[in-house]
Structure 1
């Protein structure tokens, strides 16, 4: 499981719709502050990776305290989450000019994992907005800091 986490002042995702004469968009999710999470899954991911990643995201201290030290987690900050599926996080660009996506989980595995991940975050009491799995999306954000982290949890990892 891979996540690109960006602390944001605001973020939104719009779904591109319509191929009959003009682009249309509809707002899928918006937050005023918190984390934008671009989330990708691979074939071996399970609920163990979801649980580990949920705990990591909710306990990372990425917000400043009164001394401007990164000492507050998202719950203390009162932030929200915008979760967007991103299979291209498992794109391999080492060879050739066209990325390979053989390491990205197929939709029949990735969709249930994505839905369980979103559900776990919501169960922890945070405001969670989402994109739409498999849709063409436009993601807009104002990165706060900027603060950006790459999070990864391989299924073979121990605790």
Structure 2
């Protein structure tokens, strides 16, 4: 399981539909925007580890964590985190888990965060999404579980 974590001063994700653009998740103020990728070997246990790490990661202002200041998280699935562009000009997605495997694991990360007490907003799995955010710092880290 792979995550790209950005410290933000607000973030939102919108979904593009035939009827227009709909905001499906938004956090206001200090928090984390988290892009989550799932590979074939990932498990619910790894999803729990990632949730605990995200909740306690001390990267907010003053070396605080989301749990310290009750900061919200915006969690968005992103299979392209497992893209491989080392050969040729087109990335391959072989390392990314298929939707039926990945979606429940991303949902598990969200559920575990909420069990820990986090306020969590999400994108919509498999949708054509637009993410906008204000990266505070800029501050971005990558996590591997």
Shorter-chain TM-score: what band? over 0.9
The aligned counterpart of 2:27 is 31
**Which stretches in structure 1 are left out of the alignment for 5+ residues?**
154-159
Separation in 2 of the partners of 1:113 and 1:34? Answer: 22
Instruction: Provide TM-score, normalisation by structure 1.
Output: 0.87
Instruction: Provide TM-score, normalisation by structure 2.
Output: 0.96
Separation in 2 of the partners of 1:92 and 1:82? Answer: 25
Matches within 5 A, 1:17-56: 17-18=17-18, 24-32=20-28, 33-56=30-53
Pick the structure with more helix per residue: 2
Separation in 1 of the partners of 2:60 and 2:74? Answer: 17
The aligned counterpart of 1:150 is 142
Give the RMSD, CA atoms, in angstroms: 1.0
Please list the CA deviations of residues 94-138 of structure 1 after superposition, one character each: whole Å capped at 9, or x if unmatched: 011111000000011011111111111111111100000000000
SS in 1 for 2:88: coil
**Which stretches in structure 2 are left out of the alignment for 5+ residues?**
none
SS in 2 for 1:92: coil
Q: How many residues align?
A: 144
User: 2:76 matched to 1:84?
Assistant: yes
